[in-house]
Amino acid sequence: MVMRTILAALMVIAVAAPAAAKKSEINKSFFGGVAIEGTDPVAYFTEGRPIEGSKDFAHNWKGAEWRFTSAVNRDAFKADPGRYAPRFGGYCAFAVSRGYTASIDPEAWSIVGGRLYLNYSKSVKRQWQEDIPGNIALGERNWPKVLDD
């Protein structure tokens, strides 16, 4: 009987704790805290494509480990993270425009107005692109309130 009571209490805590916790400002892995699935955010701007970063060129910013393909990219990010970090903390831009967060596919990306936006998938990216200015405006209105959900 005591064991059942303890298990029931643990279940309540396990269910309630995540609901009360605020989401991280940066979309990062649960284990290791790696931002945007380890993709080098600077490479989107310099190479025009997503490239997997390396642990050898890592930098911690806003509670996440950001990975880069080179010391040059890491140092560029360190000097001006606001220029290179994806908008909406690297969460899916379309999801944020709709009032929630979602993970991303590093291959589903856009640079608009000098800012990097990531999406859940290429098909979601196409939906986001149907009204980029409107979706950005909605995302700006929803950010960072979506982290409280």
Q: Are residues 48 and 98 in the same domain?
A: no
Mean pLDDT of 124-135: 98
Residue 14 lies in a domain: no
Q: Are residues 94 and 134 in the same domain?
A: yes
**Interval 17-40: pLDDT, tens:** 444 568 999 999 988 999 999 999
Pick the last residue of a domain from 46, 65, 84: 84
Q: Are residues 75 and 90 in the same domain?
A: no
Residue 4 lies in a domain: no
Q: How many CB atoms lie within 10 A of CB 48?
A: 8
Query: At 14, which helix (H) or strand (E)?
Result: helix 2-20
Inform me whether the pLDDT recorded for 13 exceeds 50.
Answer: no
Residue of 72, 113, 120, 68 whose CA lies nearest to 98: 120
Residue 92 lies in a domain: yes
For the chain, give the percent of residues with pLDDT over 70: 86
| 39 contacts 108 by C-beta, under 8 angstroms | no
Q: Are residues 93 and 80 in the same domain?
A: no
Residue 140 lies in a domain: yes
Structural domain boundaries, residue 65:
25-84
Confidence of residue 149 (pLDDT cuts 50, 70, 90): confident
Q: Are residues 48 and 91 in the same domain?
A: no
